[in-house]
Amino acid sequence: MSPTEGSPFELAAEACWPTLLFHRRWRDHDAEAPALLKFLAQRRAEQAGRVASGVAVRAKSGHGLYESGFDLFTHAHPALDRLKGFIGQSLAAAVCHAEGGRVRPAELEIAVVESWFHVTNGGGFHDAHVHPNCSWCGVYYVQVGDSGAAADGGAPNGGTRFYSPLSLGYRDAGNAHQIEELDAPLADGLLVLFPSYLRHSGLPYTGARDRVVIAFNARVFLRGVPSNLRP
Protein backbone atom coordinates (compact mmCIF):
# COMPACT_ATOMS: atom_id res chain seq x y z
CA MET A 1 0.00 0.00 0.00
CA SER A 2 1.17 3.54 -0.71
CA PRO A 3 -0.14 6.82 0.73
CA THR A 4 -2.79 8.50 -1.38
CA GLU A 5 -1.37 11.45 -3.31
CA GLY A 6 -2.50 14.80 -1.95
CA SER A 7 -4.32 13.41 1.08
CA PRO A 8 -3.93 15.58 4.20
CA PHE A 9 -4.14 12.42 6.31
CA GLU A 10 -1.74 10.40 4.14
CA LEU A 11 -4.35 7.67 3.89
CA ALA A 12 -3.45 4.36 2.31
CA ALA A 13 -6.24 2.49 0.53
CA GLU A 14 -6.56 -1.21 -0.17
CA ALA A 15 -9.47 -2.96 -1.88
CA CYS A 16 -10.54 -5.98 0.17
CA TRP A 17 -12.73 -8.77 -1.16
CA PRO A 18 -13.72 -7.07 -4.41
CA THR A 19 -16.48 -8.65 -6.49
CA LEU A 20 -15.85 -8.50 -10.23
CA LEU A 21 -18.50 -8.85 -12.93
CA PHE A 22 -17.57 -9.02 -16.60
CA HIS A 23 -19.66 -8.50 -19.70
CA ARG A 24 -18.86 -8.80 -23.39
CA ARG A 25 -20.98 -8.89 -26.54
CA TRP A 26 -20.51 -11.72 -29.04
CA ARG A 27 -19.77 -10.09 -32.37
CA ASP A 28 -21.31 -13.03 -34.26
CA HIS A 29 -24.60 -12.93 -32.37
CA ASP A 30 -26.70 -11.30 -35.09
CA ALA A 31 -25.64 -13.94 -37.62
CA GLU A 32 -25.95 -16.91 -35.26
CA ALA A 33 -29.04 -16.02 -33.21
CA PRO A 34 -31.74 -17.27 -35.64
CA ALA A 35 -30.24 -20.77 -35.81
CA LEU A 36 -29.61 -20.76 -32.07
CA LEU A 37 -33.22 -19.80 -31.28
CA LYS A 38 -34.51 -22.50 -33.62
CA PHE A 39 -32.32 -25.12 -31.94
CA LEU A 40 -33.47 -24.10 -28.46
CA ALA A 41 -37.11 -24.27 -29.56
CA GLN A 42 -36.49 -27.82 -30.80
CA ARG A 43 -34.88 -28.78 -27.51
CA ARG A 44 -37.85 -27.34 -25.62
CA ALA A 45 -40.32 -29.32 -27.74
CA GLU A 46 -38.44 -32.54 -26.93
CA GLN A 47 -38.43 -32.02 -23.16
CA ALA A 48 -41.46 -32.54 -20.96
CA GLY A 49 -42.39 -30.38 -18.01
CA ARG A 50 -42.13 -26.74 -17.03
CA VAL A 51 -38.81 -27.24 -15.24
CA ALA A 52 -37.08 -30.07 -17.10
CA SER A 53 -34.13 -29.99 -14.71
CA GLY A 54 -36.38 -30.69 -11.72
CA VAL A 55 -34.06 -28.52 -9.63
CA ALA A 56 -35.20 -25.83 -7.14
CA VAL A 57 -38.75 -25.85 -8.47
CA ARG A 58 -40.02 -23.72 -5.56
CA ALA A 59 -37.64 -20.92 -6.55
CA LYS A 60 -39.19 -20.67 -10.02
CA SER A 61 -42.53 -19.14 -10.93
CA GLY A 62 -45.40 -21.56 -11.46
CA HIS A 63 -46.22 -19.92 -14.78
CA GLY A 64 -44.38 -18.05 -17.51
CA LEU A 65 -41.05 -19.88 -17.11
CA TYR A 66 -39.53 -22.85 -18.93
CA GLU A 67 -36.17 -24.27 -17.83
CA SER A 68 -34.34 -26.97 -19.80
CA GLY A 69 -32.28 -29.83 -18.46
CA PHE A 70 -28.78 -28.98 -17.26
CA ASP A 71 -26.96 -30.65 -20.17
CA LEU A 72 -27.39 -28.07 -22.94
CA PHE A 73 -23.69 -27.83 -23.87
CA THR A 74 -23.43 -31.60 -24.40
CA HIS A 75 -25.57 -31.30 -27.53
CA ALA A 76 -23.80 -30.65 -30.82
CA HIS A 77 -25.00 -27.74 -32.93
CA PRO A 78 -22.89 -25.40 -35.11
CA ALA A 79 -24.14 -22.12 -33.61
CA LEU A 80 -24.04 -23.46 -30.06
CA ASP A 81 -20.53 -24.82 -30.57
CA ARG A 82 -19.32 -21.41 -31.72
CA LEU A 83 -21.01 -19.74 -28.76
CA LYS A 84 -19.31 -22.21 -26.41
CA GLY A 85 -15.95 -21.22 -27.89
CA PHE A 86 -16.71 -17.54 -27.27
CA ILE A 87 -17.79 -18.28 -23.70
CA GLY A 88 -14.67 -20.33 -22.92
CA GLN A 89 -12.36 -17.67 -24.33
CA SER A 90 -14.16 -14.90 -22.45
CA LEU A 91 -14.18 -16.73 -19.12
CA ALA A 92 -10.47 -17.57 -19.35
CA ALA A 93 -9.70 -13.88 -19.95
CA ALA A 94 -11.94 -12.85 -17.04
CA VAL A 95 -10.24 -15.28 -14.64
CA CYS A 96 -6.83 -14.03 -15.76
CA HIS A 97 -7.92 -10.47 -14.94
CA ALA A 98 -9.48 -11.46 -11.60
CA GLU A 99 -6.26 -13.27 -10.62
CA GLY A 100 -4.19 -10.18 -11.33
CA GLY A 101 -2.40 -11.71 -14.32
CA ARG A 102 -0.83 -14.51 -12.27
CA VAL A 103 -2.10 -16.99 -14.85
CA ARG A 104 -2.49 -16.73 -18.61
CA PRO A 105 -5.71 -17.71 -20.39
CA ALA A 106 -3.87 -20.47 -22.26
CA GLU A 107 -2.94 -22.10 -18.94
CA LEU A 108 -6.58 -22.52 -17.90
CA GLU A 109 -9.01 -25.34 -18.56
CA ILE A 110 -12.68 -24.36 -18.40
CA ALA A 111 -14.98 -27.20 -17.31
CA VAL A 112 -18.67 -26.40 -17.68
CA VAL A 113 -20.50 -28.61 -15.17
CA GLU A 114 -24.05 -27.41 -15.87
CA SER A 115 -25.64 -25.57 -18.79
CA TRP A 116 -29.27 -24.81 -19.57
CA PHE A 117 -31.65 -22.25 -21.03
CA HIS A 118 -34.65 -20.28 -19.79
CA VAL A 119 -37.64 -19.05 -21.77
CA THR A 120 -39.77 -16.55 -19.84
CA ASN A 121 -42.86 -14.44 -20.46
CA GLY A 122 -46.14 -13.62 -18.75
CA GLY A 123 -44.43 -12.67 -15.48
CA GLY A 124 -42.07 -15.65 -15.30
CA PHE A 125 -39.16 -15.29 -12.86
CA HIS A 126 -36.41 -17.11 -10.96
CA ASP A 127 -35.98 -16.25 -7.28
CA ALA A 128 -32.64 -15.22 -5.74
CA HIS A 129 -30.04 -17.98 -5.44
CA VAL A 130 -26.33 -18.86 -5.62
CA HIS A 131 -24.45 -21.73 -7.31
CA PRO A 132 -22.27 -23.65 -4.79
CA ASN A 133 -20.91 -26.29 -7.19
CA CYS A 134 -18.58 -24.10 -9.28
CA SER A 135 -16.36 -21.02 -9.17
CA TRP A 136 -17.80 -18.95 -12.05
CA CYS A 137 -21.23 -18.57 -13.62
CA GLY A 138 -22.50 -16.94 -16.76
CA VAL A 139 -25.66 -15.69 -18.45
CA TYR A 140 -25.91 -15.16 -22.20
CA TYR A 141 -28.82 -13.15 -23.59
CA VAL A 142 -30.02 -14.87 -26.75
CA GLN A 143 -33.12 -12.67 -26.95
CA VAL A 144 -33.97 -9.97 -24.41
CA GLY A 145 -37.34 -9.20 -26.00
CA ASP A 146 -38.88 -6.23 -24.21
CA SER A 147 -36.53 -6.41 -21.22
CA GLY A 148 -35.31 -3.06 -19.99
CA ALA A 149 -35.48 -0.32 -17.40
CA ALA A 150 -38.86 0.65 -15.98
CA ALA A 151 -40.10 4.13 -16.89
CA ASP A 152 -41.11 4.80 -13.28
CA GLY A 153 -37.71 3.83 -11.90
CA GLY A 154 -38.87 0.46 -10.59
CA ALA A 155 -37.31 -2.95 -11.17
CA PRO A 156 -36.35 -3.69 -14.79
CA ASN A 157 -38.60 -5.89 -16.88
CA GLY A 158 -36.88 -9.27 -17.04
CA GLY A 159 -33.41 -8.23 -15.95
CA THR A 160 -30.76 -10.18 -14.05
CA ARG A 161 -30.35 -8.66 -10.61
CA PHE A 162 -27.30 -9.18 -8.37
CA TYR A 163 -27.27 -8.71 -4.60
CA SER A 164 -24.38 -7.48 -2.48
CA PRO A 165 -22.45 -10.24 -0.66
CA LEU A 166 -21.78 -7.77 2.19
CA SER A 167 -24.23 -7.62 5.08
CA LEU A 168 -25.51 -4.10 5.56
CA GLY A 169 -27.79 -3.24 8.46
CA TYR A 170 -27.31 0.52 8.58
CA ARG A 171 -26.68 3.09 5.87
CA ASP A 172 -25.58 6.71 5.99
CA ALA A 173 -23.32 9.04 3.98
CA GLY A 174 -20.29 7.05 5.07
CA ASN A 175 -21.21 3.81 3.31
CA ALA A 176 -23.69 4.89 0.64
CA HIS A 177 -21.36 3.38 -1.98
CA GLN A 178 -22.28 -0.10 -0.74
CA ILE A 179 -25.33 -0.57 -2.92
CA GLU A 180 -27.52 -3.53 -2.02
CA GLU A 181 -28.41 -4.60 -5.55
CA LEU A 182 -27.14 -4.13 -9.09
CA ASP A 183 -29.02 -4.73 -12.33
CA ALA A 184 -26.84 -6.20 -15.07
CA PRO A 185 -26.77 -4.64 -18.56
CA LEU A 186 -29.36 -5.99 -21.00
CA ALA A 187 -28.69 -6.54 -24.71
CA ASP A 188 -29.05 -9.29 -27.28
CA GLY A 189 -25.77 -11.18 -27.57
CA LEU A 190 -24.39 -9.99 -24.24
CA LEU A 191 -22.46 -12.40 -22.00
CA VAL A 192 -22.36 -11.63 -18.26
CA LEU A 193 -19.82 -13.48 -16.08
CA PHE A 194 -19.87 -13.46 -12.27
CA PRO A 195 -18.44 -15.39 -9.28
CA SER A 196 -20.61 -18.23 -8.04
CA TYR A 197 -21.06 -16.84 -4.52
CA LEU A 198 -22.90 -13.79 -5.83
CA ARG A 199 -26.63 -14.05 -5.16
CA HIS A 200 -28.75 -13.22 -8.19
CA SER A 201 -32.26 -13.50 -9.57
CA GLY A 202 -34.13 -13.38 -12.87
CA LEU A 203 -36.73 -10.63 -12.46
CA PRO A 204 -40.32 -11.10 -13.73
CA TYR A 205 -40.68 -10.59 -17.48
CA THR A 206 -43.61 -9.81 -19.75
CA GLY A 207 -43.30 -8.84 -23.41
CA ALA A 208 -44.42 -9.30 -26.99
CA ARG A 209 -41.51 -11.72 -27.52
CA ASP A 210 -40.11 -14.36 -25.19
CA ARG A 211 -37.01 -13.64 -23.17
CA VAL A 212 -34.48 -16.38 -23.97
CA VAL A 213 -31.34 -16.81 -21.89
CA ILE A 214 -28.57 -19.43 -21.80
CA ALA A 215 -26.83 -19.98 -18.46
CA PHE A 216 -23.94 -22.12 -17.25
CA ASN A 217 -21.80 -22.99 -14.23
CA ALA A 218 -18.08 -23.60 -14.67
CA ARG A 219 -15.04 -24.82 -12.79
CA VAL A 220 -11.58 -23.58 -13.74
CA PHE A 221 -8.41 -25.68 -13.52
CA LEU A 222 -4.77 -25.28 -14.43
CA ARG A 223 -3.93 -27.38 -17.46
CA GLY A 224 -1.82 -30.42 -16.68
CA VAL A 225 -3.01 -30.84 -13.09
CA PRO A 226 -4.15 -34.47 -12.60
CA SER A 227 -7.84 -34.94 -11.90
CA ASN A 228 -7.13 -36.52 -8.50
CA LEU A 229 -5.45 -33.28 -7.39
CA ARG A 230 -8.31 -31.03 -8.46
CA PRO A 231 -10.96 -29.78 -6.00
Given this model, what pLDDT does residue 7 score? 61
Given this model, what pLDDT does residue 144 score? 98
Q: Report the sign of the C-alpha dihedral through residues 163, 182, 88, 119, in that order.
A: positive
Q: How far apart are CA 188 and CA 155, in angstroms?
A: 19
pLDDT tens figures, 127-141: 999 999 999 999 999
Given this model, what pLDDT does residue 179 score? 82
pLDDT higher than threshold 60 for residue 4: no
Cα–Cα distance list, 175 to 10, 19, 168, 227 (Å): 21, 17, 9, 44
Q: Which residues of 181-209 are buried (b: 16+ CB within 10 A; e: fewer)?
A: eeebebebbbbbbbbeebebbbbbbbbee
The CA radius of gyration of the chain, in Å to the nearest whole number, is 19
Domains, the chain, with CATH or none: 24-149+184-229 (2.60.120.620)
The lowest-confidence range among 57-61, 78-82, 148-152 is 148-152
